[in-house]
Amino acid sequence: MLASWKLGRVAGIDVFVHPTFLLVFLFPDVLRNGLLAVLFVLAVFGCVLLHEFGHALMARRFGIETEDITLYPIGGVARLRRLPRAPGAELLIALAGPAVNFAIVGALLLLGGMGLADELAGTATGFFLEQMVVVNLFLGLFNLIPAFPLDGGRVLRALLSGWLGRVRATHVAATIGRTLAILFGLTVLSTWNLLHLALAAFVYFAARAEELQVVHEERRRRYDGDNQGIWVAPPGYRWVQRNDGVWQLAPNVVVHGGPYVGPSPWR
Ligand SMILES: [Zn+2]
């Protein structure tokens, strides 16, 4: 696995970019459109980063720190010190990401309504800002699709938890997540867009992995309560049991569907 490059530290959270991110710049659309396309890609990933900070800062309100945020070509990954167990906290943390994108849309539409749209009509800046409205609308809506473990799936799990309990709620949300991942994978199969296929595969396997984690976690809580004894995991990790029964540490990650599933002005 390639090591990520550190971009900096914002609000006490390290921000990294994974080397595979550079693949984004090799896309034919980006190569063909040169500098403007590069600026567009950077702006889109800037919005993804703001989305991640929406989650991270809301998590902080519930006493959960974020270890780091990493940008990948399929989107952003925030590594929380622990995952929220209370449905209310999970709901608000999951909604905070898309809420940031909708806030950007609202702010741009407001500026447009105040005369900026007329002033910039026909200019490259006007076009750029229009695309930012579309991209943020897309980022907010795409992540609200109830494909657990995307944000919408976490919202669904949180809503079902009070009614079904955490394990069954996770099972229902993860089953829907896997089904949507298969459907998405089949629909993009014809285009052979590798990033789309990677995202479909990722959602499919991540849904299964997190479901297993929750089952084991809840089983252990029944035995030990909150007393984790020697089982205290280092920050950002938790104990999970593999299929062969061996316990191992796994990072707590929250994943967000990425820009390259979304609209591109040059397609
Ligand atoms: Zn998100």
Which pLDDT tens digit goes with each residue over 76-114?
888 888 778 888 999 999 999 999 999 999 999 999 888
Model pLDDT for residues 21-51, shown as the tens digit of each residue: 887 777 777 777 778 788 888 888 899 999 9
pLDDT score of 262 more than 50: no
Query: pLDDT value at position 44?
Result: 87
Which residues are designated catalytic?
52
Q: Report domain extents, the chain.
A: 5-226+234-261
Structure tokens at 32: 């063909």
Instruction: Name the least confident of 6-20, 25-39, 120-134, 151-165.
Output: 25-39
The C-alpha atoms of residue 33 and residue 94 are separated, in whole angstroms, by 35
Q: What's the whole-model pTM score?
A: 0.80
The C-alpha atoms of residue 159 and residue 146 are separated, in whole angstroms, by 11
The C-alpha atoms of residue 156 and residue 228 are separated, in whole angstroms, by 28
Q: How far is the CA of 260 from the centre of ligand 1 (A)?
A: 15
Which of these, 241, 85, 226, lies nearest to 165 by C-alpha position? 85
Q: How far is the CA of 251 from the centre of ligand 1 (A)?
A: 17
Which of these, 60, 59, 27, lies nearest to 44 by C-alpha position? 27
Q: How far is the CA of 97 from the centre of ligand 1 (A)?
A: 5
Residue written as token pair 């608000």: 92
The C-alpha atoms of residue 214 and residue 147 are separated, in whole angstroms, by 17
Which H helix or E strand runs over 247?
A: strand 247-251
Query: pLDDT value at position 265?
Result: 43
Query: pLDDT value at position 233?
Result: 66
Specify whether the CB–CB gap between 176 and 207 falls below 8 A: no
